[in-house]
Amino acid sequence: MSFNEKYNKIRQIVQNELNIIEEKMVSTIQVREPLNSHLVSFLTYPSKRIRPLLALLYLKANNEQISDKQLEVLTVVELVHNASLIHDDIIDESDLRRGHKTLSSEFDNKLAVISGDYILARAMDKLTQIGSFEIIEQFSKTIRQMCLGEINQNFDRYKIGTIENYIEKTKNKTGYLFETALVTPFMTDVDGDYELEEIKNLGLNIGIAFQIRDDLLNILKEDVSKPVNSDITEGIYNAPVIYSGSVEESLSGIEKTKDLLNNYIKNAENIVKKLPDNEYKIAIEEFLELLSNV
């Protein structure tokens, strides 16, 4: 089976909850047409919903009953993620997202920026209704770090940095939102006592691994989101380039990058091993195995 086929099999385990999250996402959108229809379509385009999926699996693996408040928190995660995609498309001057015209190409950059900001504002509305200062603080830190990741990446374009700087950028741009997705549901109504730092570490390790895999795919083969070597063309020098020390010889850094990927997957696996044995634990393990297949 392909990655998507295996992933969709995992996804079916929590599909009902993911459907509820998607309904909650689009119910927040209330702007003038034709923008309203475009935003609703954008939020409901076929998407993997990886962050809420992992959070739901981890909750269920811990024998937690999913509450409406937890679904609200995961809706905020997806709204923040999708707002960042709108802004990314503007920065990258992208015409397509998930096979459809981006908001910036359908309208213009000004309206796209405002649309991304609007979705973020709706996410903040939901956070205030949840009413947890701890959760608000976690999201505030995450959004701040996401912005810093983009700012630093822009200043570092066409520079071959260090692997430490690459990991820091990866944490900011991707890792912290995975961390937030996994830990914030455990800041709501849960039955057991949990070590939140361990849950944060799980999310952070999975998020870093996810981004490293994406960077590898950008060099090794074309995917639906962007062409081969588009990062290099845009002056974004990721792990393969850093390990090779050369833009022209980036393929020579592939094996070391795979070792780096597997290191973060192993870290995540060590945390997942502590879960009770059930179908949800198995699903998380299968997902981590998928990440390692590049």
Angle 41-66-6 from CA coordinates, rounded to 5°: 60
pTM, two decimals, is 0.94
Per-residue pLDDT reduced to its tens digit, 96-135: 887 788 889 989 999 999 999 999 999 999 999 998 999 9
Per-residue pLDDT reduced to its tens digit, 158-168: 999 999 999 99
pLDDT above 70: percentage of residues in the chain: 97
Residue 224's pLDDT is 44
- How many Cα atoms sit within 13 Å of 178 on the Cβ side? 20
pLDDT grade for 73, boundaries at 50, 70 and 90: very high
Residue 226's pLDDT is 54
**Mean pLDDT score across all residues of the chain:** 93
pLDDT above 90: percentage of residues in the chain: 83
Nearest of 33, 287, 68, 87 to residue 185 by alpha carbon: 68
- Please count the residues of the chain: 294
Per-residue pLDDT reduced to its tens digit, 219-252: 987 544 555 567 899 999 999 999 999 999 999 9
Cβ(166)–Cβ(174) below 8 Å: no
pLDDT grade for 46, boundaries at 50, 70 and 90: confident
Cβ(226)–Cβ(218) below 8 Å: yes
Task: Evaluate if residue 143 carries a pLDDT over 90.
Answer: yes
pLDDT grade for 72, boundaries at 50, 70 and 90: very high
Cβ(38)–Cβ(89) below 8 Å: no
pLDDT grade for 267, boundaries at 50, 70 and 90: very high
Task: Evaluate if residue 1 carries a pLDDT over 90.
Answer: no
Residue 229's pLDDT is 64
Between 180 and 98, name the one with better pLDDT: 180
